[in-house]
Amino acid sequence: MLWRIGDGIRYQHKTRVELGWKNGRGIMEITLLLLVLILVVLTIYFGVKIVPQSEAFVVERFGKYTQTLAAGLNLIIPFVDLVAHRVNILERQLPEFRISVITKDNVEVWLESTVFFRVVDAAQSVYRIENDDLAIQTAATSIIRSAAGKLDLDALQSSRDAMNQEIESNLREAAKVWGIEITRTEILNIDIDEQTKDAQRQQLNAERQRRAAVAEAEGEKRSIELKAEAALYEAEKEAEAIRVTADAEAYAIKARAEAQAQQTRLIASAIADDGQPAINFEVLMQQVKALGSLAGSENAKTLVVPSDVTKALGSLELLKDFFTSNAREEK
């Protein structure tokens, strides 16, 4: 009886020990599984990096630069590599800043400027310069003063675009060592004191008056030239009219000469055929012309016509017909 009771106690104790060992082993397995799961999560968290499009990640390993992560999915060694810097690579603009400069003609002016830039090398921008904005503004101030000092006030106001290009070129070279690209520089405003403004107004007024005087002189000169051209044109027209008149007179003289020559040829031909009628006709013609000249004279009071002339006038028409018929026969 006692033996059976003892066996029962030993059996119960053994069962409890086995159950306890099994329970402990299960807890250890669960704990180990949880640790593995946590390790995997931490590995993914520290080893996988998703970089936004607008940024670049600078990675260090035990405090030393190793690489720069570009946009997208990247893998690093967890617990060894560390993202030390997140750098914005978008184009940025410096706040507007004022600069006091002295121009070539010793005039003090204030320039309002700004600079546009972006980071192209994240590592250089992190390890070479501490404050990007301050460094760029300081360099821009020095370059702008140097560029403005080469120009007088009028040139500074009229050649702002050329000055912006020069500043941008020089500042781009200075910022290259910082891993920064200068995209654009702007001179927004040129501010001068009231005394200088008054002097400029007086200069502008004087220039306007000078231009007005020049324009007036040019107008007078043009008016004189136009009058001279008109006079020359009128003289040319008069000369042309004289030439035309002379040509007409020459043509008339030539025509009269040809008619006289033709008449002489006819008379000569008539004389050769029957000379007396032709001679009488020519004498009568000359007498008629002489009488016409005397009648047209202002000094003539009374004109006496010989009887033989008046008698001959009656036969003048017959003689004219005679010579006309002879001329037709010759043709």
Q: Are residues 97 and 69 in the same domain?
A: no
- What's residue 318's pLDDT? 46
What does the block give as tokens for 105?
Answer: 């003609």
Residue 249 lies in a domain: no
Residue 299 lies in a domain: yes
Q: Are residues 173 and 145 in the same domain?
A: yes
Tell how far CA 18 is from the center of its chain: 99
- Helix boundaries (H) for the chain: 2-47, 122-127, 132-148, 153-158, 160-175, 194-296, 307-314, 316-330
Q: Are residues 130 and 186 in the same domain?
A: yes
Question: 3-class DSSP state for residue 176?
Answer: helix
Look-up of token digits 């020519």: 282
Residue 168 lies in a domain: yes
Asked if residue 144 lies in contact with residue 167, where contact means CB atoms within 8 angstroms, the answer is: yes
Query: How confident is the prediction along the chain (331 residues), in pLDDT tens digits per residue?
Result: 444 554 555 545 555 545 555 556 668 878 888 888 888 788 888 888 999 999 999 999 998 999 999 999 999 988 889 999 999 999 999 999 999 898 888 888 899 999 999 999 999 999 998 899 999 999 999 999 999 888 888 888 888 888 899 999 999 999 999 999 999 999 998 888 766 666 666 766 677 777 777 877 787 778 787 887 777 777 777 878 787 787 777 777 777 777 777 766 666 666 665 555 555 656 666 665 665 565 555 555 455 555 555 555 555 454 455 445 554 555 5
Q: What's the CA gap between 322 and 316, in Å, rounded?
A: 10
Among 169, 192, 215, give the residue marking a domain's end: 192
CA-closest candidate to residue 97, choices 113, 108, 116, 117: 113
Residue 101 lies in a domain: yes
Residue 126 lies in a domain: yes
Q: What's the CA gap between 199 and 183, in Å, rounded?
A: 37
CATH code, 174 = 3.30.479.30
- What's residue 181's pLDDT? 95
Q: Is 321 exposed, middle or buried (0-12, 13-18, 19+ CB in 10 A)?
A: exposed
Asked if residue 112 lies in contact with residue 188, where contact means CB atoms within 8 angstroms, the answer is: yes
Q: What's the CA gap between 65 and 123, in Å, rounded?
A: 8
Q: Are residues 72 and 98 in the same domain?
A: no
Residue 107 lies in a domain: yes
Asked if residue 110 lies in contact with residue 104, where contact means CB atoms within 8 angstroms, the answer is: no
Asked if residue 103 lies in contact with residue 144, where contact means CB atoms within 8 angstroms, the answer is: no
Q: Are residues 105 and 177 in the same domain?
A: yes
Tell how far CA 28 is from the center of its chain: 84
Q: Are residues 160 and 99 in the same domain?
A: yes
Among 158, 192, 226, give the residue marking a domain's end: 192
DSSP character for 83?
E
The number of beta carbons lying within 10 Å of the beta carbon of residue 167 is: 22
Q: Are residues 121 and 181 in the same domain?
A: yes
Residue 257 lies in a domain: no
Q: Are residues 150 and 108 in the same domain?
A: yes
Q: Are residues 61 and 136 in the same domain?
A: no
Q: Are residues 105 and 63 in the same domain?
A: no
- What's residue 45's pLDDT? 82
User: How many distinct structural domains can be found in the chain?
Assistant: 3
Q: Are residues 119 and 76 in the same domain?
A: no
What does the block give as tokens for 221?
Answer: 């000169």
Residue 253 lies in a domain: no
Asked if residue 308 lies in contact with residue 320, where contact means CB atoms within 8 angstroms, the answer is: no
In sequence order, the 6+-apart residues with CB closer than 8 A to the CB of 83 are: 49, 57, 58, 59, 69, 76
Q: Are residues 42 and 117 in the same domain?
A: no
Host domain of residue 44? 2-88
Among 66, 88, 110, give the residue marking a domain's end: 88
- Helix boundaries (H) for 48-159: 122-127, 132-148, 153-158
